[in-house]
């Protein structure tokens, strides 16, 4: 069993590899990822139409402070849909979810189960960045959540994955802690739902990486079993 230092060292090598030891190319990488992601977003006219309908939303005060409205991105026919919490700084600047370091880590976690960003759809509970990345307020969630419900309806995934406690609690209307939400199959309107860590949390607590990788295997296994049951 590796101790904490060994785990930290392992994570660092993994993370180091993720950035290919060239931190200075990060901006270029992000530009590349943005271009690649834009090329796969919103081919479906119903999602495109829905984005147009809501992209100027001012239903809560975050509409005034955002740089960009962050709708969602990915394969509009995805079998696997991820739901995060809210846009961060990079996402607010680029208008695309999960493009910063947490997004790069999510890409790597997907690769662990042989998936790419192009295979999945990703959206957040909130479409606009809360100032200083604070937690979403209940009134913001209440106003914004119907947009996510509609996105889920349009994508109609076989399996939903909530990234982090905030996404899990709000989708399941539960107050359970993350540890109680993980490693179980929940139901969101007849769609199976699994809750795992938010990638930003793993960046803060790298010792949780092993558990996050186990969750990814659990997600893959559930997706495969959904295939076998049609």
The site for ligand SF4 (CB under 6 A) is made up of 57-60, 62-63, 126-128, 140, 143-144
Shortest spacing between CB 84 and ligand SF4, in angstroms: 13
* CB nearer to ligand SF4: pick between 115 and 122: 122
| Closer by beta carbon to ligand SF4, 127 or else 182 | 127
Closest CA to 143 of 126, 162, 120, 156: 126
123 versus 191: smaller Cβ distance to ligand SF4? 123
The structure tokens 């949390």 sit at: 201
- Closer CB to ligand SF4, 70 or 80, in the complex: 70
Contact status, residue 177 vs residue 156, Cβ threshold 8 Å: no
Of 222, 185, 215, 186, which Cα lies nearest the Cα of 198? Answer: 215
Q: How far is the CB of 87 from ligand SF4 (least distance, A)?
A: 9
First and final C-alpha spacing in the chain: 38
Q: How far is the CB of 53 from ligand SF4 (least distance, A)?
A: 11
Query: Cα 102 vs. chain centroid, distance in angstroms?
Result: 9
Reference 88, options 77, 99, 80; nearest CA is 99
Provide, rounded to whole angstroms, the least separation between the CB of residue 123 and ligand SF4. Answer: 11
């Amino acid at each position: 069993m590796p101790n904490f230092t060994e785990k930290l060292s392992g994570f660092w090598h993994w993370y180091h590899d993720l950035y290919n030891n060239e931190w200075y190319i990060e901006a270029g990488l992000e530009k590349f990822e943005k271009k690649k992601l834009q090329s796969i977003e919103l081919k479906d006219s119903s999602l495109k139409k829905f984005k147009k309908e809501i992209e100027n939303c001012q239903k809560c005060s975050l509409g005034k402070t955002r740089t960009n409205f962050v709708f969602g991105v990915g394969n509009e026919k995805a079998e696997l849909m991820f739901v995060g919490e809210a846009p961060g700084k990079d996402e607010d600047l680029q208008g695309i979810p999960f493009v910063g370091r947490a997004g790069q880590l999510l890409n790597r976690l997907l690769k662990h189960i042989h998936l790419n960003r192009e295979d999945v759809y990703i959206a957040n509970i909130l479409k606009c960045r809360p100032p200083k990345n604070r937690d979403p307020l209940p009134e913001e969630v209440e106003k914004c959540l119907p947009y996510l419900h509609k996105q889920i309806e349009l994508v109609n995934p076989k399996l939903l994955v909530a990234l982090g406690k905030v996404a899990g609690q709000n989708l399941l209307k539960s107050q359970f802690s993350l540890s109680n939400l993980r490693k179980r199959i929940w139901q969101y309107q007849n769609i199976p739902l699994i809750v795992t860590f938010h990638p930003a949390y793993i960046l803060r607590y790298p010792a949780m990486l092993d558990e996050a990788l186990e969750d990814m295997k659990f997600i893959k296994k559930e997706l495969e079993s959904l295939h076998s049951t049609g």
